[in-house]
Amino acid sequence: MTDDRTGTPDSTAVRTALWRAMHLQVDPPPHVLEDEIGLRLAAPGDAWRERPDMDPDGTRAFRAAMVCRARFIEDLVTEQAGLGVTQYVILGAGLDTFAQRRPELASRLQIFEIDRPGPQAWKARRLVELGYGIPDWLHLVPVDFEADASWRERLVDAGFDAGRPAVVVSTGVSMYLTKDATAATLRQTAALAPGSTLAMSFLLPADLLDAADRPGLRASQNGARTSGTPFISFYTPQEMLVLAGASGLSDARHVSGTSLGDRYFAGRADGLRPSSGEDLLLATVT
């Protein structure tokens, strides 16, 4: 998510990018994801590591959750590309850097980054300034999810082939949207070509979090509210599955953050594990 008032990424998007960079800088290998390009895009200044929300120990579980989520998405995109899917849609792209970090795979796809107009224009400028540019397979599509009735129509206008399947990803977005807006996204995804896949993250209610992670959720909520982008929607896994089914996605399953932690962080000598609190909906259009 990003902030239209300033034409720059919101604080949450920047924080996520900085945590991905911190994973490389302070956590020992093996690294779950290697991404310092988001740090270059954000250009937070030399003192960014001194920010309270960058405390290496206090935030280790949260940065682990961010790199875990991103790695799962990249594995999904790689898997689907291997099956012949050639379109990748990123809803609420923010400081996503897949196109810059994985050009050998990205250049074989048509990638559509959807975000709000002002911040997206800022990102386009930064990509040019840093020398990455905007290749012809990368499409920046401006959409406001709450105000715009159909991001799918905007996609088609940008060159998206509605007759071919796609991977559609929405991470770190649903908590900022009303339930109606999220349902609209699910309905539009269900109308895509058969074989399309959706991965959407969602925040759990506080009582479903591990007790140790609840203070962190409260701190994140307070920070989001202060920055003008409050968390407004939380879902139990069953609520999200019911919403997906009611939106036309009959083939849907819940992927817990805990299971991703087991997949990507098992056996680490440093004991690094992602925090609880964010799970994923994974659905296939049939």
Q: Domain spans of the chain?
A: 72-255+271-285
State the CB neighbour count (10 A cutoff) for residue 130: 13
Q: What is the mean pLDDT of residues 71-90?
A: 98
Q: What is the pLDDT of residues 183-238, one digit of tens each?
A: 999 999 999 999 999 999 999 998 888 887 787 777 777 777 776 778 899 999 99
pLDDT level of residue 144 (50, 70, 90 thresholds): confident
CA distance 286 to 284: 6
CA distance 35 to 100: 10
Q: What is the pLDDT of residue 2?
A: 44
- 56 CB contacts (<8 Å, ≥6 apart)? 22, 26
Q: 14 burial class (0-12, 13-18, 19+ CB within 10 angstroms)?
A: buried
Cβ burial 29-62 (10 Å sphere, 16+ → b, else e): eeebbebbbbbbbbebeeebeeeebbeeeebbbb
Query: Which among 263, 144, 254 has a CA at the least distance from the CA of 201?
Result: 254
| Cis, peptide link before residue 117, omega less than 30° from 0 | no
Q: What is the pLDDT of residue 148?
A: 64
| Cis, peptide link before residue 28, omega less than 30° from 0 | no
Query: Which among 60, 123, 57, 58 has a CA at the least distance from the CA of 90?
Result: 123
Q: What is the pLDDT of residues 230-261, one digit of tens each?
A: 889 999 999 999 999 999 998 999 999 999 99
pTM of the model: 0.92
Residue bearing tokens 């962190």: 216
- 131 CB contacts (<8 Å, ≥6 apart)? none
Length of the chain: 286
Model confidence at 133: pLDDT above 80: yes
Query: Which among 113, 18, 5, 102 has a CA at the least distance from the CA of 62?
Result: 18
Q: What is the mean pLDDT of residues 83-92?
A: 96
CA distance 155 to 141: 7
Average pLDDT, the chain: 91
Residue 202 pairs with which residues in a beta bridge?
279
- Say which DSSP state 107 is in: T
Residue 278 pairs with which residues in a beta bridge?
203
Residue 201 pairs with which residues in a beta bridge?
280
Model confidence at 15: pLDDT above 50: yes
Cα angle 217-219-221, degrees, rounded to a multiple of 5: 70
Distances (CA, A) of 163 to 85, 156, 282: 12, 10, 21
CATH H-level superfamily of 72-255+271-285: Vaccinia Virus protein VP39 (3.40.50.150)
Tokens (6 digits) for 109: 């796809």
